[in-house]
Amino acid sequence: MAYKLTSESLHTIREKENVQMVPFIEPKSSRISMNITKTADILDGIGQDVVIDGSFAYVAAGCGGLKIVNVSNPIAPAIVDYLEDGGEALGVYVLGSYVYMADGEDGLEIIDVSDLIDPVEVGQFDDGGMAHDVYVLGSYAYVADGEDGLEIIDISDPTAPVEVGQITDGGYANGIYVVGSYVYMADGEDGVEIIDVSDPTTPVEVGQIVDGGYADGIYVVGSYAYVADGEDGLEIIDVSDPTAPVEVWDLFDYGVDWDYHFRAWAHDVYIEGSYAYVADGEDGLEIINVSDPTNPVEVGQFYNEGPSYTRGHALGVLVMGSYAYVAYSVFDLAIIDVSDLTTPVKVGQFDDGGTA
């Protein structure tokens, strides 16, 4: 079984801002952006998304493509191999022997990883959008495709993927989660959109909620959608009626540092048991008790000490067992011991010279 970690937020393509990469500055309004002018010199890929499958992490590393990392020893993760084809790997999903990668302007790429030391691209679909995230269920890949919205691609033949459906309403699709016949989409300033995909050829939006934040990541459990909503922090939405989603709580933390950058910016969220783990920009990893969704309580936090340009930004998070795997902007992957939720401790990291 594959576990998904997402960090849809730190992308090189954005329309509304023009912010330098180093030092990283949080968004002035609602959308994160970068203007990378020396990619070849300063970056070896930007870690955007990670899936853990067994003892291996599959990292969508921006311009660095797909990286395969052995994480069997959390204290000393090690690179196994990589595949780079000139795209911008932003999202990744693993199912069986295939990696499905949202590769920016290169669309959806399908990679055979049956031999981990020799990954091979076997299929691709590109229609001119900007693929940010991907979720696979059954014979379909559901792609959050930026301004192109949701794209549904038939992957029954991995060597020849075919688009069968699409829907967009003017938002910016960043993150995606699929449960049954519904797609839950983090759609930027358009909030959360709920789409009925019972007929994949004719997806229909059935519900939406907008509250002024910037929906970046999403995780759905039971009757609730947990949304990483940028400056608005963690939002909890009752989706028991998909046609009428209702916000039941939000929890935000306006951390502002000495150089007036916004520290807290919720990029991603992962739910494990009664706890939400939020990748919260410079405020690092936030651990929140959501046993009562109407009254969440923060119980623990991890962040790097130091000034803004060395502290880094937590961009994505996944929890498995006693460890949280956090994509950080100062190293590809931080591995944090969360056995004591009130005192999370970093025990290892993977850094091949790039910036997460």
Domain boundaries, the chain: 2-39+47-350
Q: Is the pLDDT of residue 151 over 90?
A: yes
Q: Mean pLDDT over residues 271-300, rounded?
A: 94
Looking up tokens 């979720």 gives 135
Confidence of residue 28 (pLDDT cuts 50, 70, 90): very low
- Label each residue of 268-331 as H, E or C: EEEEECCEEEEECECCCEEEEECCCCCCCEEEEEECCCCCHHHHCCEEEEEEECCEEEEEECCC
pTM recorded for the entire structure: 0.84
Q: Mean pLDDT over residues 107-127, rounded?
A: 96
The DSSP code for 41 is H
Out of 9-23, 107-121, 261-275, pick the least confident: 9-23
Out of 32-46, 193-207, 238-252, 321-335, pick the least confident: 32-46
Q: Which of residues 3 and 122 earns the better pLDDT score? A: 122
Q: Which of residues 335 and 1 earns the better pLDDT score? A: 335
Tell me phi and psi for residue 308, to 5 degrees: -55, -45
Q: Is the CB of residue 308 less than 8 Å from the CB of residue 282?
A: yes
The pLDDT tens digits for 305-337 are 777 666 778 888 889 889 998 877 777 788 899
Q: Which fold has domain 2-39+47-350?
A: Methylamine Dehydrogenase; Chain H (2.130.10)
The pLDDT tens digits for 164-203 are 999 998 899 999 999 999 999 999 999 999 999 999 999 9
Q: Which of residues 189 and 251 earns the better pLDDT score? A: 189
CA dihedral 156, 157, 160, 163 (to 10 degrees): -10
Q: Return d(Cα 132, Cα 143) in angstroms, integer.
A: 7
Q: Which of 137-151, 245-259, 308-322 has the highest mean pLDDT?
A: 137-151
pLDDT at site 50? 79
